[in-house]
Amino acid sequence: MIRAAFSGLRVMSCRAHRHAARLTVTAFVATFGVCFALSNDAQAMTVLAASVEDLVQTSEIVLHGRARSVRVDDRRAKGRAVWTVYQFDVQDVWKGDRKSVGSTFTLELLGGRTADGMTLSVPGMPGFAVGEEVVMLLERHSDGYTLTGAPQGKWTVYRDSQSVARVVRPLADAHLVQRAADGRLVEAAHDERPLLLQPPTADSTLEQLRSQILGIVAAQAAAVAARAGGLTVKAPLIKAPLVKAPRAMARPAVGRRQP
């Protein structure tokens, strides 16, 4: 299981003024034994790429929804920095208990612009606009939920010229790496491009992504049942083309459920 130990977060430098603040942090990713950095020089998050199967396995919840509201919660007086709180209307749950998730879901991400003009940003961490339709992979931790794989835990849903729902995952601010055969970390190739530059017919459809994730969930449930010596559940045969999806394991976000 993919895990990111954000408890090892160490603030390397933080400079704030009225118009902007930049934060550089270093964290240790326990499972893979590598570090990723949020650099105010490169303005990008460097994270270890991984497969869609691993992301889904790590996630407790995978949901399809639409952002309803966005607000900034300034917790500096409590020593907890600045957070942006997003509320989503849940349209469908692809993994997890639909009843437990409820009709709305609240996710908190580090960063935001405060009333006094200070901006705290984490390069590479995805944000959400009101009205944006998304698919999110969410991993549980001690304080609630976080996006699984940081920027790789979000797909944006849009409609093409034929009104077909398609998904894309812009990763312009994320630097993905993978481990080479000799153990070195090298840049990971991926096909994710900015939404406006992506040929509409090149993106997978929302239904293809849904079928892929449901197939992964079913296969994982079957594997768990087999290991437990119980009834083996056969995973459905998914004929839809697989969505190309690099992954990253980082955890600078906090989320919680809202009943």
| Residue 9 resides in a domain | yes
Q: What is the pLDDT of residue 240?
A: 47
Q: What is the pLDDT of residue 176?
A: 79
Closest CA to 82 of 40, 126, 120, 41: 120
> Left, alpha or beta for 245 (phi > 0: left; psi -120 to 50: alpha)?
beta
| Residue 221 resides in a domain | no
| Residue 164 resides in a domain | yes
Residue 30, pLDDT > 70, answer no
Strands (E), 180-226: 185-187
| pLDDT tens profile 201-226 | 568 999 999 999 999 999 999 998 88
| Residue 73 resides in a domain | yes
| Residue 226 resides in a domain | no
| Residue 181 resides in a domain | yes
Q: What is the pLDDT of residue 144?
A: 79
Q: What is the pLDDT of residue 170?
A: 76
In the three-class reduction of DSSP (H, G, I as helix; E, B as strand; rest coil), residue 170 is classed as: coil
Residue 71, pLDDT > 50, answer yes
Give how many domains the chain has, as a whole number.
Answer: 1
Q: At residue 164, what is the residue type?
A: V
C-alpha to C-alpha distances, 41 to 8, 10, 87, 95, 253, nearest whole angstrom: 22, 17, 31, 38, 21
Exposure string for 83-98, b = 16+ CB within 10 A, e = fewer: bbbbbbebeebbbbee
| Residue 238 resides in a domain | no
d(CA 86, CA 132): 11
Identify the domain containing residue 166 by its residue range: 5-51+59-203+244-257
| pLDDT tens profile 91-111 | 999 999 999 999 999 999 888
- Spell out the residues 6+ positions from residue 228 whose beta carbon is closer than 8 angstroms to its own: none
Average pLDDT over residues 229-237: 56
Q: What is the pLDDT of residue 102?
A: 93
| Residue 208 resides in a domain | no
